[in-house]
Amino acid sequence: MSDKSETASCTHRGTTKATRYATLIGDYGTSDFVLKRGGRLHEVTMAYECWGQLSPNYDNAILIFTGLSASAHAASSLDNPDPGWWEFMIGPGKAIDTRRFFVVCVNSLGGCLGSTGPESFNPASGRSYGSDFPDLTIEDIAKAGHHLLDELDIDHLHAVIGPSMGGMVALAYALQYPDECDYLISISAASRALPFTIAMRSLQREIIRCDPKWNNGHYDSAEEPLNGMLLARKLGLVSYRAAEEWHQRFDRARVKKDRRKGEAFEIEFEVESYLDYNARKFVGNFDANSYLYMSRAMDWFDVADHGGSVNAGLAKIHVKKALIIGVTSDILFPVEQQQEIADGLVKAGRKVEFVSIESINGHDAFLVDRDHFAPVIGGFLAKT
């Protein structure tokens, strides 16, 4: 892993002209990227996008980690004018102001949207890794982001930011590189997953694995377990939103008769149609094994692994100030879990701004509730 990637000209799912690639240098003393649970990757490519200008002192960089399913395309740019997944948040004059900051968003290690993951070519077997991909943890995703910054010659971050899974990765980043990051923004994340959330995710994984096309993790791109992915994604979507939002939006509205096929047990309520439409947009654009690996990484993550208790782990975070955000209607990572992170950081003597957002949008509020999220994040960064 010594020279720049040659995959830059390839196209991957979810990548465009705006996507850049870096091949990571191996760990010190080895040419491999060594994962937390002992696995090794001989070659790691990371896909990322950038906005804004790196300052002459290299001191204005912000690194964004994403939720499970998002690509590095967090915002539009000249190279890719399509709106990004956090379009309202990132840009000139926006909350994450690209006139001031050099913003990097990275596709997670283990993903399938440009970075190395289970879908990547495994030189050892001559085919995709599939389920031969090594065990992946949140800490590995953080470390791959850190290696990427090395490649970009950035040795200090102004801030690390992440929502959902990215919020766990941001915690892991701040834990593992305590002196290399001034500010931390962790959104709708948790120091560790609790049983209800584990159950919701474990069930999604089991649904995928029960699709015969999953084939123990070795399937051709033409024979992906799309059916399992469709059902798993629907369950994911149920856990990402909140009952009240759907009540206001759909109530008991029915799909119009001319959109029905007359089949037994077919879609009848608008909420079923909404789930089906949104799940189908995802399926086929995301690798099932990536889903499995990252989903499990979230279940495995436990800040207590870093010192014996959650508070001992959080005490390893040495940022100047942290912004911890939760949403009252989140059933996946309830707001008590963000409160726990904030309390632990305060206990460790850190400065913390904890914001509990009253939104009906559930876990996914950071994606859609611009009015609540942009001022909180913009206000925090403006004071840094």
What does the alpha-carbon distance between residue 16 and residue 9 come to, in Å, rounded to a whole number? Answer: 10
Q: Give me the catalytic one of 77, 115, 120, 164.
A: 164
261 binds a copy of itself per the rule CB under 8 A: no
Stretch of 20-28, 100-108, 204-212, 372-380 contacting a copy of itself, by CB under 8 A: 204-212
116 Cβ contact partners less than 8 Å away, ≥ 6 residues apart: 41, 43, 44, 45, 46, 109, 110
- The answer to the question of residue 202 lying near a copy of itself (CB under 8 A) is yes
Pattern 322-351, binding to a copy of itself, x per CB under 8 A? ---------x--x-----------------
Token pair listed for 321: 């100030």
SS3 call for 62: strand
Contact yes or no for 278/270 (Cβ under 8 A): no
**Residue 131 binding a copy of itself, by CB under 8 A:** yes
Among positions 192, 350, 363, 372, the unique one binding a copy of itself when judged by CB under 8 A: 192
In the residue annotation, 3 being an active-site residue is answered as no
**Dist. CA 361–CA 376, nearest whole Å:** 16
Do 206 and 235 meet the contact criterion of CB atoms below 8 Å apart? no
Query: For the chain, how far is it from start to end, CA to CA, in angstroms?
Result: 36
| Residue closer to a copy of itself (CB basis): 314 or 377 | 314
CB 273 within 8 A of CB 267: yes
Q: Does 35 bind a copy of itself (CB under 8 A)?
A: no
164 is an active site residue: yes
Q: Write out the two tokens for 270.
A: 């608008």
Examine residue 282 and tell whether it contacts a copy of itself (CB under 8 A).
no
In this complex, which beta carbon is closest to a copy of itself, that of residue 101 or of residue 300? 300
Give Cα separations from 166 to 50, 129, 145 (angstroms).
17, 24, 11
- Nearest CB to a copy of itself, comparing residues 249 and 320: 249
- Determine, following the binding rule CB under 8 A, whether residue 292 of this chain makes contact with a copy of itself: yes
Distance separating alpha carbons of residues 98 and 262, to the nearest angstrom: 52
Question: Is 372 one of the annotated active-site residues of the chain?
Answer: no
Q: Does 207 bind a copy of itself (CB under 8 A)?
A: yes
Catalytic amino acids? 164, 330, 363
Q: Which residues bind a copy of itself (CB under 8 A)?
A: 131, 192-200, 202-203, 205-207, 209-210, 216-217, 227, 231, 234-235, 238, 241-243, 246-247, 249-252, 264-265, 267-272, 275, 292, 296, 299, 302, 331, 334
